[in-house]
Amino acid sequence: MAATLSDDRSEPRDEVHHRSSAMLADERRVTVLIVNLSPSGLMIRSDVAVGAGDWLFIRLPAVGDVRVVVRWALGGRIGCQLERPIPANRYHAVLGAMAG
C-alpha cells in the first residue's frame, strides 16, 4: 500500500459518518466509511489495499456512484479526489442524506 502525504486540498471538508460502498478496479464492491466530504474530495476508512493513483467508484447518496482517484492511503484512511466535483446545487442534498 503506497502512501504519500501530499495534501494540496484547498476546500474545507464537512465531517460526516456515513457507511457506503466502493467498487475497486477489479470490480469488487467493499464497505467503506466516509468520514469527511467536500465538493471535490472525501476521506474514507477501509482496510482495503489501495495506493495513490488507484481509481475507485464511491457510492454517494443523492448522486450515485462517483469516480475518485486515491491521493493518499495510510493506516486504513484513504484520501480521494473526485473526478468531477459534486455540483453546488447537489452538494447539500448529499450532505443532508448522509445526516439523516
In a domain, 4, yes or no: no
CATH code of 84's domain: 2.40.10.220
In a domain, 31, yes or no: yes
Query: Can you read off the three cell numbers belonging to residue 9?
Result: 486540498
The total domain count for the chain is 1
pTM of the model: 0.86
**pLDDT tens, residue order, the chain (100 aa):** 443 344 455 688 999 999 999 999 999 999 999 999 999 999 999 999 999 999 999 999 999 999 999 999 999 999 999 999 999 999 999 999 998 6
Domain residue limits at 28: 14-99
In a domain, 44, yes or no: yes
The dihedral region occupied by 27, where left means phi > 0, alpha psi between -120 and 50, and beta the remainder, is: left
In a domain, 79, yes or no: yes
Please give the pLDDT value at position 90: 95
Burial per residue of 61-90, b for 16 or more beta-carbon CB atoms within 10 angstroms, e otherwise: beeeebebebbbbeeeebbbebeeebeeee
Please give the pLDDT value at position 11: 80
In a domain, 85, yes or no: yes
In a domain, 9, yes or no: no
